[in-house]
Structure 1
Amino acid sequence: MAVPKKRTSKTKKNSRKSQWKKQAESKAIKAFSLAKSVLTGKSKSFIYSSQGDDD
């Protein structure tokens, strides 16, 4: 079974964790922005059908 030979340093671990959190934060901001634009009806890049449309 493959086992890492050496322990990962704190700086490397913290760097990877902060990068992961930064990416998650940017995705959350984009999703929130899209949700706000859909609710206000100003969305041009997201196509959806409202509940009233049964065509």
Structure 2
Amino acid sequence: MAVPKKRTSRSKKNSRRATWVNKANTQAKKAYSLANSVLKGKSTSFIYSVEADSTED
């Protein structure tokens, strides 16, 4: 089995972690923005029905 010969430096480890965290933050911002627009009724990114289930008499 392949094993790395030397230890990864702190700067490389921190750089990789920063990239991962930034990607996660970007996805979180997109999800929050989409949820905000759906709640306000201004969403244009997908189509969904807005019919109310008030068929009771």
Q: Same fold (TM over 0.5)?
A: yes
After TM superposition, the score normalised by the length of structure 2 is 0.80
Q: Which amino acid aligns with 1:37?
A: S
Which residue pairs with 1:10 in the alignment? 10
Cα offsets for 1:7-45 (capped at 9, x unmatched): 100000000001100110011000000001011110001
Displaced runs of 4 or more, over 3 A = 49-53
State how far apart, in whole Å, the 1-side matches of 2:9 and 2:17 are. Answer: 12
Identity %: 64
Which structure would you say has the larger Rg?
2
Q: Tell me how many residue pairs correspond in the alignment.
A: 53
- Structure with larger RCO (C-alpha < 8 A, sep 6+): 1
Which segment is superposed worse, 29-38 or 41-50?
41-50
